[in-house]
Amino acid sequence: MKIVLITQDDPFYLARNLDYLLKKLPPFAQVVGTVVADVSPFGKRETFTQKARKTYSIFGGPFFLRYGLKFILSKLRRQNSVRYVLKKHGVPLIHLEGNINRPESLQKIAAYQPDLLISIAGNQIFKRPLIDLAPKGCLNLHTALLPKYRGLMPSFWVMKNDEKYTGVSVFFVDEGIDSGPILVQKKVEIGNRSQAGLIKYTKQLGMDAIVESVEKIHAGTYELIENDASQMTYFSFPTREDVNAFLAAGKTFY
């Protein structure tokens, strides 16, 4: 089974988790190429200065300094680079110019003859020609128990809303946002974790869920879980007021 990954150059969590995933994929699954977009933590393309200003204004000085330092250190440590991990595993980069849905982008991806596409922190909306490009479909990982908490930063929102449980969902992508049928879902007790601790745990759990999904697709025997739109909730990026409420409720970022 030939797989093309679609991800972004996240400096905080993705490199170690992609390394974990590439080590755990079964022998029949070969990652033949990866699209790596520029990091976009706010769900849309912004300049570095815009990202920095928004982080500071919403999350405050201590958060900004902590993650700013982590960002700098990640650039100095090659093992924290997504591209470094891919090179270590011999996975080629697929270089695209502009939107992933452009005909030229689709042609480049199709040249790798993927059987399956897997999006991990992909930061663009996929259109039908891309979704249908691989015969076995296109999977996406979302770190929440869909259909609840569709959208951005589910780890923040489940904690702010004092949920007792969250989880991960691997689903087949459709043209909506986190709306496709679910293939694998795993539940997690939040407990007293910080947001960083919750992200770290669910990211790795998500890699296990992807491996399980690949095995199910290879076997050809699986039952889909309905991603019931009537039960959905959707969250966008938090405001400063949301962050204040998060902290007032005794929740911690790290």
pLDDT at 42: 47
Domain-embedded: residue 33: yes
Is residue 219 classed exposed, middle or buried when 0-12, 13-18 and 19+ CB atoms within 10 A define those classes?
exposed
How far apart CA 179 and CA 202 sit, in angstroms, is: 20
pLDDT at 47: 74
Domain-embedded: residue 51: yes
Domain-embedded: residue 161: yes
Domain span at residue 132 reads: 2-248
What CATH number does the domain containing 179 carry?
A: 3.40.50.170
Structural domain total, the chain: 1
HSE-up (13 A, CA, CB side) for residue 27: 0
Q: What percent of the chain has pLDDT over 90?
A: 84
Domain-embedded: residue 253: no
**For the segment 148-175, what is each residue's pLDDT rounded down to a tens digit?**
999 999 999 999 999 999 999 999 999 9
**For the segment 54-91, what is each residue's pLDDT rounded down to a tens digit?**
999 999 999 999 988 888 887 777 777 899 999 999 99
pLDDT at 45: 59
Q: What is the pLDDT along the chain (254 residues), one digit of tens a residue?
A: 999 999 998 888 999 999 999 999 999 999 999 999 876 544 455 677 888 899 999 999 999 999 888 888 877 777 778 999 999 999 999 999 989 999 999 999 999 999 999 999 988 999 999 999 999 999 999 999 999 999 999 999 999 999 999 999 999 999 999 999 999 999 999 999 999 999 999 999 999 999 999 999 999 989 999 999 999 999 999 999 999 999 999 999 99
pTM here is 0.93
Domain-embedded: residue 110: yes
HSE-up (13 A, CA, CB side) for residue 233: 10
**The pair of three-digit structure tokens given for residue 242, joined into one six-digit string:** 């949301």
Domain-embedded: residue 112: yes
Q: Give the relative orientation of helices 48-59 and 240-248 as an angle to the nearest 10 degrees.
A: 40
Residue found by looking up tokens 């204004």 in the block: 57
How far apart CA 178 and CA 145 sit, in angstroms, is: 11
